Structure 1
Amino acid sequence: MDKQQYLLELEKELRSLSKGEQQEILADYEEHFESARAKGRSDADIIEGLGQPEKVAKEIIAQAKMVKTLEASSGNSMPRAVFSTVVLSLFNLTFILGPAIVCFVIPIVLYVCAVVLFIYPLLLLFQDGFTLIYANKIFLMLGSIGFGLLSFVGGSSLMKLVYRLFVNYVKFNVRIVRGRSA
């Protein structure tokens, strides 16, 4: 690939930007090629240093979107966002933190119970050895394993639910801070 092919591919990848932005970027890259050639570097060496046009274009487009987003924020929306963040923080600390901790602790307790209920039959075996007493407790051990499985499945399901609720609540907070309707 040479300079012309590189610039053509870069232009093709930058098609989502305005023509003015494209021309400015291509002029910068053409200037980069010329200054590197003046220092004795080959096109292949220059392209290797720049990276593939697809990757370069993705980075440029991402930066352009970030700049547009920052420019789109008006000066009067910043105080509103700060106020919303402070009020939401106080609300979250006062009313949400306690229940959130409980919602995360319950699945953890269920996981611990599951582990204990799985290990219980092994502890009985070490305590009594494989004797008639151990055989009499077989149903107790099977029940323990069954409750351990139920506890594990319940903890997993509850953890997934709590996680989804937490993610949705965080998204809700972000929408409020940004000033969009919830």
Structure 2
Amino acid sequence: MNRTQFLTLLRKELGSMPIKEQNELLEDYESHYAFGQQEGKTEEQISVELGDPIELAVEATAEYHRNFPAKVKVSTTVSNTTFSIVGLFLLNFVLAVVPLGIAIWATWLSLLVASIMLIVAPLIVSADFIINQYFSMGKLFACITLSGIGIFISFGVLYIGKELNKITVSYYNWNKRVITGGQ
């Protein structure tokens, strides 16, 4: 590989660095070529001594980014945070997001309690038999049916509870991101 090919490939691979840094690095390598030619070496020999331009570019860009990390622009100010908090307050409390969430969670809790009560229905029938000393086959079959329905409902209620929890946590995290400006 001759001088032109080496420097062209090196410049191409240094694309993520600023132009000024690229030019300084390329000038260094051009001086290596000039010094090597003064010693009587060919461009190909100098290229072999310098190494693979792709590897050199990877090392140079890694070194540059380690010494000069990319600066993240932070745009949160006190006024942005204040407006975010006021907007979230209006959204959450006035426009019924929190009341709606409380109603949904209360409905879920009542379904959970109802499914638990349906599952323990045989115990209630047993207590009725002990207290009143009267046994009815109709009550027994109704109790077993209600217990089965309670078991089926409990699976759905538990699944809905997990999904509701995910939604609530993601909504809370979204509120935090809005207040902190997406950081």
Query: TM-score scaled to structure 1, two decimals?
Result: 0.51
Identify the residue that residue 138 of structure 1 maps to in structure 2: 140
- Cα 1:179–1:74, aligned 2, differ >3 Å: closer, same or farther? closer
In terms of fraction of residues, the more helix-rich structure is 1
Three-state SS of the structure 2 residue aligned to 1:137 is helix
CA distance in 1, matches of 2:103, 2:76: 38
Equivalences for residues 15-164 of structure 1 within 5 A: 77-94=77-94, 95-129=96-130, 133-164=135-166
Distance 2:170 2:161 in 1: 14
Aligned-partner residue type, residue 91 of structure 1: L
**One-letter identity of the residue aligned with 2:174:** F
- Aligned partners of 1:118 and 1:148 also within 8 Å: yes
Number of residue pairs matched by the alignment: 110
Task: Give the drift of 1:132.
Answer: 7.9
AA aligned to 2:156 is G
Deviation at 1:165? 0.6
Tell me the TM-score normalized by structure 2. Answer: 0.51
Residues in 2 aligned to 1:153 and 1:81: alpha-carbon distance in whole angstroms: 42
Identity across the alignment (%): 21
Aligned mates of 1:110, 1:162 — CA distance in 2: 13
- CA RMSD, Structure 1 to Structure 2 (Å): 2.8
